[in-house]
Each structure stands twice: as C-alpha cells, then as structure tokens.
Amino acid sequence: MRKLHALLLIPAIAAVLWTPLSAQEDPDPLEETVAAVEKQAAAETPAAEISVEPAAKPAAPAAAKQAQPPQTRAEPGKPAPVLPVWNVTAAPADSEWSFLQDATKDDSKDAAELLLPQLDDWLARNPAHPAAADAQLLKARLHERLGDHRFALVALLKHLQLYPGAASSAEARKMLDALLASKGDKKTRPLLEKAAAAPETAAADFNLAFLLRRLSTEAGAEYYEPLLAEFRYFFDRFPAYPANDEMRIALADLHLLNRNYLAAGLAYQKLVTMHPSSPLMARAKLSLADVLADRLKEYDKAIDVYLDIAASFPGSDQAWAAYMRLPDLAEKRRKYGIAVDAYEKIIALYPDKEEAYKSFLSEAKLLREKMDKFREAIAVLNRLADKYKDSRGPAGVDALLEAADIYRKDLKDSAGEVSMYERIAADFPRDPESPKALYAAGEVFYKAKDSEKARGYYQKILELYPEDGMSRKAEKRIAALMSGKY
C-alpha cells in the first residue's frame, strides 16, 4: 500500500513544485495535494485487491537514450508541467573537456584569458583524467598565445614531470625546446633543460615537489609568478605530502627572494603553525624573526620570536643568531631587562667568544646610562676584570678604570673609587696604567687634605716604578705635602 501511495505521489508533488509561484496562492499546496491523492487512492482501491510484487530487475538498455520528461498531473484547466531534461550520456569532466577543446581552437587572446582559469580549475579537479596530460599541454599553448612564455615553460616542465608516459609528452618536449631556443636566457636555459629530464620516480607528488624546489632555488626571481601558481596547485592536490614542510619553507624563501616580505613572513608563520614537529622549525622561526625585524619593522614581535628560538633550541646556530639580535632590538624598544638578560646569556653560554667580552661592556654601559643601576654596572665590570685578568690584561684595567669613574661621578664614593685603583695596581702590576692608578688614588686623598694617606700612594710609586714618568709627579706631591704647601 505504501509503495503504491508513493508512486501516486510523485507526479502530484512534481506538479506542485514546478507550478509558477504566482499560481501557488494557497498557503501550503503541497500538503493539500498529498492529502487529496492519499484520500483518492484509499477510496478507489480496496485493500484486498492491492498486491504489489517485487519489481523485476530491468534489463540494461541496448543504447543510452535521452531522458524523457516525466508525466505529471495537471490541475483542471492548466497544462501539465514538464520537468527539465538533463543529458546524462556523458560525465561532466568529459563534456567540460570537450567544451574547452572546442572553445580554444581559434586564436582569440580574449578567449584564452577567459578560458585559462577554467582550464586550471578543470586540471585541479581532474588530475588523473585520461585527458589531463593533453589539458596541461593546452594550458602551455594558451600561455604562449598570450605571450606568457615563462608560464608556458613552467607548464611544459610540469607536464613532463607529471605525465612522462603520455602520448603528448613528445609534443610537449618539442614545444619546450622551441620556447627555450627563442625565449630562454643564458642563465636559466641550462637549468630548465636539466629540469626537463625524465623523472626518476613514478610519484607525482615527489616529482612536482622536486621541480618546484629546484626552480625556486635556482630561478626564483625569473619565474616567481608561475611558480606561485604551481605551489598553490601543489598544496591543494597533495595536502598529505610527507615533506610539505620543505615545500612551505621553499615557498617562503621564494617570497623573500622576490622582496615580498609580508608574504614571506606569513609563509614562515604558516609553516610554524602547521608543522610544529618539523626539523625545519628553528630555521623557519629565525627567518620569520629576521623578516619581522629587518623588513616589516615589527620589532616587538621579532623580539618574542627570538626569545622563543633561544629558549626552544639551546646550543643551535639559530639560538646563537637570536642572541646576536636580541640585545640591540630590546634596547631599541627600551626593553632593558630583556637586553640585560640576553647579555648575561651570551656571557654564560658563549664565554670564549669575542661577543662575550663585548656583552660585559654593553651590559655595564646599559646599566649605567639607561637604567641608573650604578652598582650593578660596577659589579659587571669587576666580573670582566676577573675573567680577562690573564688573557687580556688591558681589557681588565679599562673595566676597572670605568668602575672607578662610576664611583667618582655617579656615586660620589671616593672609597669605592680608590678601591678600583688599588685593584689595578694589585692585579695588573706590569700594566702601564698601574702607576697612574696609584697616583690617582693619592690624588683622591691629596684633594681631601689627608696628607698621610696621599703620601703613602705617592711613595709606593717611587718604590715600585722609579723609572716611570709618574715618579717625578709623585716626588713633587711629596715635596708639597712636606712643605705644607698644598
């Protein structure tokens, strides 16, 4: 009974659905039609007479025929509506390919411009279609028709890598050779000829990835635009390619090479987000930080990325590079605490590098001049003198002289100043600055009218450095002290 009701309902429902909206005046004509059909079926057919046998399996038609419009009931006084007819004899991909072939037969450039995106879409949807190789060749021809020889060359190389066994491969190779002869330059022609060699594998993803990385590295400036289009195609077609992180960093590097800095930064960021376990993570983050700092001038974001690199990849080349950038950037942004921390990390992690010595000096200067942390600056300078006492004596002496200057000018601490002079004489007795340091200590007390202490330092110069030029000055001071004329 239910099956029969359903069969009766089909034409009535179709009639309502295909009735013009202007004719559907009732609020819900579909429900009324269904109810009327059910009522009529119940009244005209006694239940005892209904016997629905299972439908026999229809025999396959001898030949495909055009679908006929279903017959539908018409309302009184109105013609029966006719449902639309679809030609189901050909698959959509086949019929669209036939259209593209026919539509591109003339030499119209306007038509070529309109049809190229459609051809690209068809190839993206049907990469394994029997006509895909021919479609790729057609794409190259359309680009050549439009004068885009770079796009045409890349399309031909792609054909040779993705469809090496296709019947159209010989024609693609012939067209490639002709384009290289007429349009190729001396720099890129050998590369393109090498890239046209038969692929070593049957894996389409690997072959195309190899081609794109190679062209990006060796001819990325000349073929930037067509390569961008092929990278998009690659990611759409092969989202699960195992080395997609390598492809993404190749794309980012390609943007960077062509000074498209915003696109490069976004591409590096996308790799970082999509491939958190990639062995290329440190390199990608460093490239991202450099682009942010040097090209996009987003210094705060760059600092955050450099800090992340230093913390996440200790001991790596990228961490070293991050530490080399952090202090200057942090000082520029007045993030002095970050700069001090970076200097301390460099001193601790890379003690034998020249940059460690420079970090001592830079940190002390920052603490003194920007942060007014005078005693902390003095402590850093004393650590510098300790570290380089034997290896580079003058550096230690200079650091202690700087510390003495801080005591004198910033802290007004004469005792601290004298202690630095005493340390120079004690730790670096052979340095030319030692007798000067003793004399400077004597001068502190000379000016303070403490003749006894002043005379002690002058006398030490005479004892330890009798041949030094400071001895004469010390003798004059001693004479003045003894005469009381000072």
Question: What does the pLDDT read at residue 80?
Answer: 53
What is the per-residue pLDDT for 484? Answer: 80
Number of domains in the chain: 2
**Does residue 80 form part of some domain?**
yes
**The dihedral sign for the CA sequence 465, 466, 470, 476:** positive
Q: Domain check: are 131 and 162 in the same one?
A: yes
Q: What is the pLDDT of residue 220?
A: 97
Residue 252 lies in a domain: no
* pLDDT value of position 486: 65
Q: Which residue has the higher pLDDT, 162 or 29?
A: 162
For residue 256 the two structure tokens come to 């960077």
pLDDT of residue 184: 87
What pLDDT was estimated at residue 392? 72
* Domain stops at, among 242, 269, 294: 242
The answer on 130 and 76 residing in a single domain is no
The answer to whether residue 371 sits within a structural domain is no
Kindly state whether residues 128 and 237 are assigned to the same domain.
yes
Q: Give the per-residue pLDDT at 390.
A: 83
DSSP 280-342: THHHHHHHHHHIIIIIS--HHHHHHHHHHHHHHSTTSHHHHHHHHHHHHHHHHTT-HHHHHHH
Q: What is the largest CA-CA distance in the chain?
A: 149
Residue 428 has pLDDT above 90, yes or no: yes
Q: Residue 47 belongs to what domain range? A: 1-55+67-89
- Asked whether the predicted pLDDT for residue 26 surpasses 90, the reply is no
Q: Which backbone phi and psi does 449 adopt, to 5 degrees?
A: 65, 25
Q: What pLDDT is recorded for position 70?
A: 46
Residue 415 within a domain? no
The count of other CB atoms within 10 Å of the CB of residue 454 is 23
What would the pLDDT profile of 244-301 be if each residue is shown by its tens digit?
A: 999 999 999 999 999 999 999 999 999 999 999 999 999 999 999 999 999 999 999 9
Per the structure block, which two tokens stand in for 206?
Answer: 């690997």
Within a domain: residue 215? yes
Are residues 165 and 126 part of one domain?
Answer: yes
Band of residue 17 on the pLDDT scale cut at 50, 70, 90: very low
Calculate the average pLDDT of the chain: 86
For 147, residues 6+ apart whose C-beta sits below 8 A from its C-beta are: none
Is 131 found in the same domain as 48?
no
pLDDT bin (cut points 50, 70, 90) of residue 18 is very low
SS3 state at 129: coil
- pLDDT at 393 exceeding the cut of 90: no
pLDDT band at 106 (very low <50, low <70, confident <90, very high): confident
Q: According to the model, what pLDDT value does residue 91 have? A: 81
Q: Do residues 142 and 191 share a domain?
A: yes
∠ CA(361), CA(443), CA(374), 5° rounding? 30
pLDDT tens, residue by residue, 58-70: 344 344 444 444 4
- Are 119 and 236 contained in the same domain? yes
What is the per-residue pLDDT for 255? 98
| Mean pLDDT of all residues in 75-94 | 59
Mean pLDDT within 166-186: 95
Q: Does residue 302 register a pLDDT over 90?
A: yes
Can you say how many angstroms the Cα of residue 226 is from the centroid of all Cα atoms in its chain?
20
At residue 439, φ and ψ (nearest 5 deg) are -65, -40
> Which domain-ending residue is among 192, 208, 242?
242
- Residue 81 within any structural domain of the chain: yes
Q: Which of 19-23, 112-116, 133-137, 302-306 has the lowest mean pLDDT?
A: 19-23
Residues 148, 197 share a domain? yes
> Do 144 and 185 fall within a single domain?
yes
> Quick one: 85 and 157 in the same domain?
no
Q: Is 426 inside any structural domain?
A: no
Whether residue 134 is found in the same domain as residue 22? no
How high is the pLDDT of residue 90? 57
Q: Which of 416, 382, 379 is nearest to 397 (CA)?
A: 382
Per residue in 343-379, pLDDT tens? 999 999 999 999 999 999 999 999 999 999 999 999 9
Is there a single domain that holds both residue 131 and residue 50? Answer: no
Residue 265 within a domain: no
Q: What is the pLDDT of residues 140-165, one digit of tens each?
A: 999 999 999 999 999 999 999 999 99
Domain boundary among 199, 218, 242: 242
